[in-house]
Amino acid sequence: MKPLIIIATPNICWLKPQVDYPRTPESIAEEAALCLANGATILHTHAEGKWKETIAAVRSRCEIIVQCGMSSLPISDRMEVFTERADMISIILNHHDEAFIEGDFNVLHTKDELREYARLCNKYRVVPEWEVWHAGSIWNLNHLLGRKAIKPPCVTTLFFGWPGGTWSPPTVEEYFYRRRLMPQGCVCNVSIMGEGQRDIIAAAIVHGDHVRVGTEDNPCDHNGIPVDTPALVRETAEMARALGRPLASVQQARKMIGL
């Protein structure tokens, strides 16, 4: 079994916006270093409007892989992610339909947009992280593969329990169902919002997939106590060790995701 990649998400908690998180490039870089020290190898960051400064700050602070999120934004608002040569960019494979405390997000994402993302990733050598929210997302992923817009292996994240029209049940049964539909050779991560997180994370660790944790996904530890993202990374790393799964180094993670 390949070593475990832990993706850290020290971003806004959509269900509990009062939870604190780093907002400046400097504080994001400091949090990234702490996450790396506790076992994470990829930083998933929201730095819209300050992509350039944040990417530079993180890279000057540590060697963690930089994955730029906010896939709801149009490509035009994310071009700095490409021009600054971030390591990865998150791309949703379906429409955004999410319902959070501070408002709903309903954004159309077409197959033309997906093909343009694929073109830009190839041009700038940025690894796409394809967000899989339901079975239809997998149809679109196979569409891109069939058109040869992208080449396997694909780096993907399977989302569970995120509220709204793209919700899916945060259960191990749903994880196994969707996992069976994925194209062969995918590097699969899991992201679970709220309850059910521990069960799916444990299943992913045992079955060779990878995990994403942090304040954006669920800001509480396994005792239900709010903690910061480095603590959530540390807890997940301890779970992996208890289950006999080694943690990936940054170099191992880079090789697995095709950097």
pLDDT (tens digit, 9 = 90+) per residue, 146-198? 999 999 989 999 999 999 999 999 999 999 999 999 999 999 999 999 877 99
pLDDT (tens digit, 9 = 90+) per residue, 36-59? 999 999 999 999 889 999 999 999
Alpha-helical regions (H) of the chain:
25-37, 51-61, 79-83, 111-124, 135-146, 172-181, 197-206, 229-242, 250-257
Mean pLDDT of 255-259: 96
pTM, two decimal places: 0.97
Each domain of the chain, given as residue ranges in start order, spans 6-257
Residue carrying structure tokens 């408002």? 103
Residue carrying structure tokens 């339901």? 134
pLDDT (tens digit, 9 = 90+) per residue, 93-147? 999 999 998 889 999 999 999 999 999 999 999 999 999 999 999 999 999 999 9
pLDDT (tens digit, 9 = 90+) per residue, 201-239? 999 999 999 999 999 999 999 899 999 999 999 999 999
Q: Which residues contact 201 (CB under 8 A, 6 or more apart)?
A: 190, 192, 211, 213, 236, 239
In the chain, the amino acid numbered 21 is Y
pLDDT at 102: 84
Share of the chain above pLDDT 70, in %: 100
Q: Please provide the CATH number assigned to the domain covering 6-257.
A: 3.20.20.70
